[in-house]
């Protein structure tokens, strides 16, 4: 198990229901290993996921349990994944979109319903993470990991970060996340607007706000801001919390920190879904049930340093205590209540897309 050496700063603002997680887990117990349903031997499952987003043994253990082969591809952004599937599913059985992207995919008919009868381990999911507005009843999606999109930073170069203003005003290289709605959401929130607005004037103002505050941006990171930070290419990276904690663990140093700015930041939840046209729907449902096994889920969250949606794993003490007690990963309710969530705004999707293109052009991206 990795040794997590955590440095962080926290605070926040906006609109998410509070989640209750045990902060003092009971001692870990030995569980019976997950058993694969019969009849899948020799079959193939194709997974399309974010990078560095499973434990080292997640895929190999599933292959051994079911006697199958897993083809595993990765993408760097929801936009990349969505663009590929909009052209027609090339053969993926599982992908892992973020909440608002799930809603878009449902609306465009890009997902197949999940039969809960084939996913009995759904009972382990934290109740408050189920039945979200983007997929009422979890007809098409099952929670996978969750967290915040905040600020990873080099302590020596930056000191301590508390605010988005510390990013805008930093005299050194910065990477923004290649996530138009998240970055536009930050701007809209800082300007006092609804982060999910469809008002074109507000979207334009948010565009201008980011352009005015982006003179230090040297990269738009496609899920690799942590690499740019650890390599010394940037001093600050707008990045997912677990990715920053991973580089802290890897270096076994106190060179890096993670902050949720006082103005607020994005709460996100990634989800397991089955794309329309999946060649092996039944094996995909078995894989989802496998991921929801408490030990399997705990292994993933302990490796990635993202929040686990598996309440049973938390209650049984399967989550690394250092991670569970780290408010940068499992924020207390008062911080959770102040985060904001991005939802799909189909009527303004083109406005956001054009605004982001203009931002990138203006900043040389």
- pLDDT over 70 at 28, yes or no: no
Residue percentage of the chain with pLDDT more than 90: 77
Q: How many beta carbons lie within 10 A of that of residue 259, not counting itself?
A: 28
Q: What is the pLDDT of residues 124-149, one digit of tens each?
A: 999 999 999 999 999 999 999 999 99
Check for a shared fold between 35-146+268-330 and 149-266+340-362. yes
pLDDT of 79 strictly over 50: yes
* Cα–Cα separations (whole angstroms), residue 184 to 3, 104, 223, 265, 336: 35, 18, 17, 11, 20
How far is the CA of 120 from the CAs of 123, 132, 291, 309, in angstroms?
Answer: 7, 19, 11, 15
- Max avg pLDDT among 217-231, 239-253, 327-341: 217-231
Give 319's pLDDT tier (boundaries 50, 70, 90): very high
Phi, psi of 303, rounded to the nearest 5 degrees: -80, -40
Q: Is the pLDDT of residue 235 over 50?
A: yes
pLDDT at residue 10 greater than cutoff 60: no
Choice among 1-15, 157-171, 281-295, 327-341 with the minimum mean pLDDT: 1-15
Q: Torsion over CA of 88, 90, 91 and 93, rounded to 10 degrees?
A: -60
The 3-class secondary structure across the chain, one letter per residue, is CCCCCCCEECCCCCCCCCCCCCCCCCCCCCCCCCCCCCCCCCCEEEEEEECCCCCCCHHHHHHHHHCCEEEEEEECCHHHHHHHHHCCCCCCCEECCEHHHHHHHHHCCCEECCCHHHCHHHHHECHHHCCCHHHHHHCCEEEEEEEEEEEEEEHHHHCCCCCHHHHHCCCCCEEEECCHHHHHHHHHHHCCCCCCCCCHHHHHHHHHHHHHCCCCEEEEECCCHHHHHHHCCCCEEEEEHHHHHHHHHHHCCCCEEEECCCCCCEEEEEEEEEECCCCCHHHHHHHHHHHCCHHHHHHHHHHHCCECCEHHHHHCCCCCHHHHCCCCCCCCHHHHCCCEECCCCHHHHHHHHHHHHHHHHHCCC
Nearest alpha-carbon partner for 212 in 179, 151, 165: 165
Per-residue pLDDT, averaged over 266-287, amounts to: 97
Residues 166-176 have a mean pLDDT of 97
What's residue 6's pLDDT? Answer: 35
- Which residue would you say has higher pLDDT here, 25 or 212? 212
Q: Contact, 284 vs 275, CB < 8 A?
A: no
Dist CA 74 CA 318 (whole Å): 27
Mean pLDDT, rounded, for 321-341: 85
Q: Where are the domains of the chain?
A: 35-146+268-330, 149-266+340-362
Q: What is the model's pLDDT at position 223? A: 74
Structure tokens at 357: 């293109």
Beta bridge partners of 256: 154
CATH class of residue range 149-266+340-362: alpha beta
Question: Tens of pLDDT along 83-123?
Answer: 999 999 999 999 999 999 999 999 999 999 999 999 999 99
The CATH topology of domain 35-146+268-330 is D-Maltodextrin-Binding Protein; domain 2 (3.40.190)
CB 339 within 8 A of CB 12: yes
């Amino acid at each position: 198990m990795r040794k997590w050496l955590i440095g962080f700063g926290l605070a926040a603002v906006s609109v998410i229901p509070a989640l209750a997680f045990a902060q003092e887990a009971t001692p870990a117990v030995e569980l019976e290993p997950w058993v694969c349903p019969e009849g899948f031997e020799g079959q193939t499952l194709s997974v399309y996921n974010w990078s560095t987003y499973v434990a080292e043994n997640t895929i190999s253990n599933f292959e051994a349990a079911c006697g199958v082969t897993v083809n595993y591809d990765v993408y760097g952004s929801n936009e990349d994944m969505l663009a590929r599937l909009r052209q027609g599913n090339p053969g993926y059985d599982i992908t892992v979109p973020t909440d608002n992207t799930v809603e878009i995919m449902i609306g465009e008919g890009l997902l197949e319903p999940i039969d809960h009868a084939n996913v009995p381990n759904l009972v382990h999911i934290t109740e408050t993470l189920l039945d979200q507005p983007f997929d009422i009843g979890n007809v098409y999606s099952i929670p996978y990991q969750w967290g915040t999109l905040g600020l990873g930073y080099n302590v020596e170069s930056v000191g301590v970060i508390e605010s988005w203003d510390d990013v805008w005003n930093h005299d050194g290289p910065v990477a923004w996340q290649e996530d138009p709605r998240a970055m536009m959401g930050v701007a809209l929130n800082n300007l006092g607007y609804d982060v999910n607005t469809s008002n074109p004037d507000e979207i334009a103002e948010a565009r201008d706000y980011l352009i005015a505050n982006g003179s230090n941006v040297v990269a738009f990171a496609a899920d690799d801001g942590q690499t740019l930070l650890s390599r010394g290419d940037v001093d600050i990276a707008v990045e997912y919390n677990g990715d920053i904690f991973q580089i802290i663990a890897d270096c076994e140093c106190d060179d890096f920190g993670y902050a949720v700015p006082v103005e607020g930041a994005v709460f996100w939840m990634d989800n397991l879904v089955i794309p329309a046209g999946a060649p092996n729907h039944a094996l995909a449902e078995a894989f989802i049930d496998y991921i929801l096994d408490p030990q399997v889920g705990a292994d993933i969250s302990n490796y990635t340093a993202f929040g686990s949606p598996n309440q049973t794993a938390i209650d049984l003490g399967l989550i690394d205590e250092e991670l569970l007690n780290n408010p940068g990963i499992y924020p207390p309710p008062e911080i959770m209540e102040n985060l904001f969530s991005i939802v799909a705004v189909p009527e303004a999707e083109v406005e956001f897309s054009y605004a982001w293109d203009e931002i990138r052009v203006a900043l040389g991206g």
